[in-house]
């Protein structure tokens, strides 16, 4: 590994328009585009057909999957390479909802593997900005049975038992597989999730597909066995302050996520044998690794820090959402 030198990597964002998408992502990133209703920017993705492409350094032009094939554990860390091979285990997005997203749920790893030969999807949201009266739907407010769930979908009363939360910047929502959820209009957020594109849409506000003119497909029966029907006392996660501008947002069996605030110079020592993703939500800074490789990052941009580097120096002013992969131990 001594002869390998992978700099911090930046990727071309994959911008996706959606029926509910807004106009905030391009200005956040400082880019000019004719694309409208951009609902998502896939920042770091190994999803087949939507793979991120490196835009800096000697490997510019290579896909993330090709990078893992080339560098293996030096890029993603030995535990991730052993567990996932050349599949990048996380998907990092920025999401801008000008309209309500469909109410949906994702299967867990076991069910997703059985049905789709795929990982499930546990995810988290960090709220970057909100408009007045923005709401996040997450979890159930009243207990229901699988049979009652089907009845409520059919008579359009399912939203009556879904927990609604008024959202504000800094809120954190942890969404384990099985939890019903929806992003309401007026939310701008960072999403960290398992690499999976398996979604069961269960309510869509009666909207029609712009291309077909028909209501978008629902997955009521598939979702029935995937939903967690329990009611929990709190659906908003309270960050754990760690001091020195660092707070732990989520720590689960799939990933850990922190918020890191920089004002001046900070040294960052990765504690796990894993890559680190960093998504800048405000400000501008320079990241330098222990081999002298430098990259600049500003609001709306993301960087992938290879596992091989054991120290990073951050200089500037701003805030970052940082994520690492934590594979399950079988």
Q: Do the beta carbons of residue 330 and residue 270 sit within 8 Å?
A: no
State the residue for tokens 């044998």. Answer: 273
Burial of 214 (0-12, 13-18, 19+ CB in 10 A): exposed
Query: d(Cα 288, Cα 98) in Å, to the nearest integer?
Result: 36
Active site annotation includes 115:
no
Query: d(Cα 197, Cα 43) in Å, to the nearest integer?
Result: 15
How do strand 123-130 and strand 103-105 relate by DSSP bridges? Answer: unpaired
Instruction: Please calculate the CA angle 220-224-225 and round it to the nearest 5 degrees.
Output: 140
Q: Do the beta carbons of residue 2 and residue 288 sit within 8 Å?
A: no
Three-state secondary-structure class, residue 265: strand
User: What is the helix, strand, coil percentage profile of the chain, to 5?
Assistant: 15, 40, 45
Spatial CA neighbour of 224 closest among 282, 283, 180, 173? 180
166 beta partners = 135
State the residue for tokens 């998907």. Answer: 91
* Active-site hit among 179, 201, 207, 291: 201
CA distances (Å), 302 to each of 12, 117, 299, in order?
10, 29, 9
Query: d(Cα 89, Cα 324) in Å, to the nearest integer?
Result: 10
Question: Which residues belong to the active site?
Answer: 201
């Amino acid at each position: 590994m001594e002869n390998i030198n992978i700099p911090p990597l930046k990727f071309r964002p994959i911008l996706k328009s959606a029926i509910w998408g807004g106009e905030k992502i391009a200005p956040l990133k400082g880019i000019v585009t004719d694309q409208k209703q951009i609902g998502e920017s896939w920042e770091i993705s190994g999803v087949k057909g939507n793979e991120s492409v490196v835009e800096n350094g000697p490997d510019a032009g290579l896909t993330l999957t090709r990078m893992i094939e080339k560098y293996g554990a030096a890029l993603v860390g030995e535990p991730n390479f052993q567990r996932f091979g050349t599949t990048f285990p996380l998907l990092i997005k920025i999401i801008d909802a000008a309209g309500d997203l469909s109410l949906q749920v994702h299967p867990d790893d076991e069910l997703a593997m059985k049905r789709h030969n795929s990982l499930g999807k546990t995810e988290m949201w960090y709220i970057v900005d909100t408009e007045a009266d923005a709401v996040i739907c997450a979890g159930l407010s009243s207990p229901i049975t699988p049979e009652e769930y089907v009845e409520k979908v059919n008579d359009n009363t399912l939203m009556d038992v879904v927990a609604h939360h008024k959202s504000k910047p800094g809120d954190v929502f942890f969404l384990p597989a099985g939890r019903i959820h929806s992003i309401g209009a007026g939310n701008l957020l960072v999403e960290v999730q398992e690499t999976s594109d398996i979604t069961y849409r269960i309510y869509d506000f009666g909207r029609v597909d712009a291309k077909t003119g028909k209501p978008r497909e629902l997955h009521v029966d598939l979702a029935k066995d995937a939903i967690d029907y329990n009611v929990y006392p709190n659906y908003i996660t309270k960050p754990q302050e760690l001091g020195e501008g660092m707070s732990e947002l989520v720590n689960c069996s799939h990933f850990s996520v922190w918020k890191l605030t920089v004002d001046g110079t900070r040294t960052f020592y990765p504690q796990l044998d894993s890559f680190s993703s960093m998504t800048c939500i405000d400000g501008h800074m320079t990241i330098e690794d222990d081999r002298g490789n430098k990259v600049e990052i500003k609001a709306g941009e993301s960087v992938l820090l290879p596992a091989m580097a054991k120290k990073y120096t951050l200089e500037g002013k701003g805030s970052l959402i940082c994520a690492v992969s934590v594979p399950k131990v079988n």
